[in-house]
């Protein structure tokens, strides 16, 4: 998988994020993700983190929206790409 850049969102900023959000879960042995495509409800099942990223990239191909990562457990493996902190613009 090619290394990508993702936006790191918090619980609060995720609601204002203008793109798709992957919520990272699981543990160090089995990191999982749940994708919430922009404007939709979260997908119904937790899946391998790589699968959630792949699904998010497919959505991004269709609508060019960015991909955010909500990682409260600090489980994101750096081999999957960089996560850069994101905050909503002032007044948003």
Phi (first) and psi of residue 41, to 5 degrees: -85, 160
Contact 20, 59 (CB under 8 A): yes
**pLDDT the model gives residue 21:** 98
pLDDT at residue 3 greater than cutoff 80: no
pLDDT at residue 1 greater than cutoff 80: no
Mean pLDDT rounded to a whole number for the chain? 93
Could you write out the DSSP letters of every residue in 16-83? T-SSEEEEEEE-SSSEEEEEE-TTSPPPSS-EEHHHHHHHHHHHHHHH---EEEE-TT----GGGEEE
Confidence band, pLDDT 50/70/90 cuts, at residue 80: very high
CA–chain centroid gap for 65, Å, is 12
Question: What's the rounded mean pLDDT across residues 8-36?
Answer: 96
Question: What's the rounded mean pLDDT across residues 30-35?
Answer: 97
Radius of gyration of the chain (CA): 12
Q: Kindly report, residue by residue over 12-23, the tens digit of the pLDDT.
A: 999 999 999 999
């Amino acid at each position: 998988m090619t290394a990508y850049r993702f936006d790191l969102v918090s619980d609060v900023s995720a609601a204002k994020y203008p793109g798709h959000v992957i919520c990272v879960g699981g543990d160090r042995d089995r990191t999982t993700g749940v994708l919430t495509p922009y404007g939709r409800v979260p997908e119904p099942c937790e899946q391998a983190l790589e699968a959630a990223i792949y699904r998010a990239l497919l959505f991004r191909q269709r609508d060019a929206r960015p991909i955010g990562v909500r990682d409260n457990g600090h489980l994101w493996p750096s081999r999957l790409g960089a996560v850069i902190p994101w905050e909503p613009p002032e007044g948003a």
